[in-house]
Amino acid sequence: MEQNNTLANLGESESLRRTIGKLIQGDYAIVGPGDDSAVVKSADGRFVVTTDTMIEGHDFKLEWSSGFDLGFKAIASNVADVAAMGAKPTALVVAIALPGDTQISWLEDFADGLNAGLTQLAPGASVVGGDLARAEQVFISVTAHGDLEGLEPVLRSGAKPGDILAVAGTLGKAAAGLDLLQSDILDAKHAFDDLVSIQLRPMPPIPAGVLANKAGATAMLDVSDGLAKDASRIAKASAVTIQIDKSALLGFEAVLELAALRLEVTPTNWVLSGGEDHALLATFPEGVEIPREFKPIGRVLESTGDLVLLDDVELQANGWDSIRG
């Protein structure tokens, strides 16, 4: 590691030149990075916008996540929020603050992770602007944009009694990956690197968001804080009760069974309370053709107090709180 390749030594302009130059071009940027602002196409006449922050020590540890991992995850977690509106991701801006002694190679690796996330999850979208600053703690703040392409946004508040509850993507894998990383059981994380990988580089089913919208989804969100907590958000916003079919979760538990045995836990908590897979949870009117990316896992009932039920048992809305932890 050469002392003169730190960000503090290179300064802002040179550090940006070396990383922005790596970023892939997208289909929506009219003016890209380098001016006071970017200019982005929004043919629909509306745009979707969401922001999310990742903070060292709270949302990630540098000993577990490489620059590449964090770049990938920054894309994944934000485009999932765009997809959850039933929109197509188009453009992102990325602000990152790093200690001055960070090597430029770390930042270049981060840019590679951004590119990989875009290519794999949101082809056509690109990073159109950003900000690089210095801090004692690593701080990553991303704002993502999307295009509704003439469709109406799918809110959390549209679920109706009788609707089918369905999920696209994985449940509990990211939480299992986190427990594996935190475990001191020898080699546990290497034995289940597919789960660790979902924690470090989540793979939300982004195109399923638009498909759900086209199929007539009445409500949707991305599961970032756990199935129970996020289902309760739909229940509350829509003033309904949501009943999850316990047997429909068995498939999600089965793929976690071996890792759960190794860590001597049951996989149910991972599936019900684990966030960060960024699965899409949606409700569909009965009788519509639900896109095959979605697996039905329950049903929307008349409100009996904005509850979430697992079969007939009330679930507590446990999950991640970004302030309390």
Q: Which of residues 225-254 bind a copy of itself (CB under 8 A)?
A: 237
Among 143, 183, 197, 318, binds a copy of itself (CB under 8 A): 143
Taking the C-alpha atoms of residue 323 and residue 270, their distance in angstroms, rounded to an integer, is 21
Phi, psi angles (nearest 5°) of residue 184: -105, 15
Specify the stretch interacting with a copy of itself by CB under 8 A; choose among 17-25, 133-141, 184-192, 298-306.
133-141
Among 15, 170, 241, 273, binds a copy of itself (CB under 8 A): 15
Of the pair 83, 195, the CB lying nearest a copy of itself is at: 83
Phi, psi angles (nearest 5°) of residue 37: -145, 165
- Is residue 99 within 8 Å of 135, Cβ to Cβ? yes
- Is residue 230 within 8 Å of 224, Cβ to Cβ? yes
Q: And the tokens for 221?
A: 């969100």
Taking the C-alpha atoms of residue 319 and residue 324, their distance in angstroms, rounded to an integer, is 11
Q: And the tokens for 281?
A: 């949870």
- Is residue 29 within 8 Å of 37, Cβ to Cβ? no
Q: To the nearest 10°, the Cα dihedral for 313, 316, 318, 323? A: 170
Half-sphere exposure of 158 (CA within 13 A, CB side): 17
Specify the stretch interacting with a copy of itself by CB under 8 A; choose among 7-15, 173-181, 283-291, 299-307.
7-15
- Residues between 40 and 59 that touch a copy of itself (CB under 8 A): 40-53, 55, 57-59
Among 38, 210, 242, 259, binds a copy of itself (CB under 8 A): 38
12 binds a copy of itself per the rule CB under 8 A: yes
- Residues between 82 and 121 that touch a copy of itself (CB under 8 A): 82, 84-85, 87, 91, 93-95, 97, 100
Specify the stretch interacting with a copy of itself by CB under 8 A; choose among 5-13, 109-117, 164-172, 284-292.
5-13
Task: Please report which helix (H) or strand (E) contains residue 179, including its range.
Answer: helix 173-182
Specify the stretch interacting with a copy of itself by CB under 8 A; choose among 138-146, 195-203, 210-218, 305-313.
138-146
Among 114, 171, 221, 279, binds a copy of itself (CB under 8 A): 221
- Residues between 153 and 192 that touch a copy of itself (CB under 8 A): 153, 155-157
Amino acid in the structure at residue 158: G
325 binds a copy of itself per the rule CB under 8 A: yes
- Taking the mean position of all CA atoms in its chain, how far away is CA 39? 25
Among 2, 3, 4, 11, binds a copy of itself (CB under 8 A): 11
Size of the chain, expressed as the number of residues it contains = 325
Of the pair 128, 203, the CB lying nearest a copy of itself is at: 128
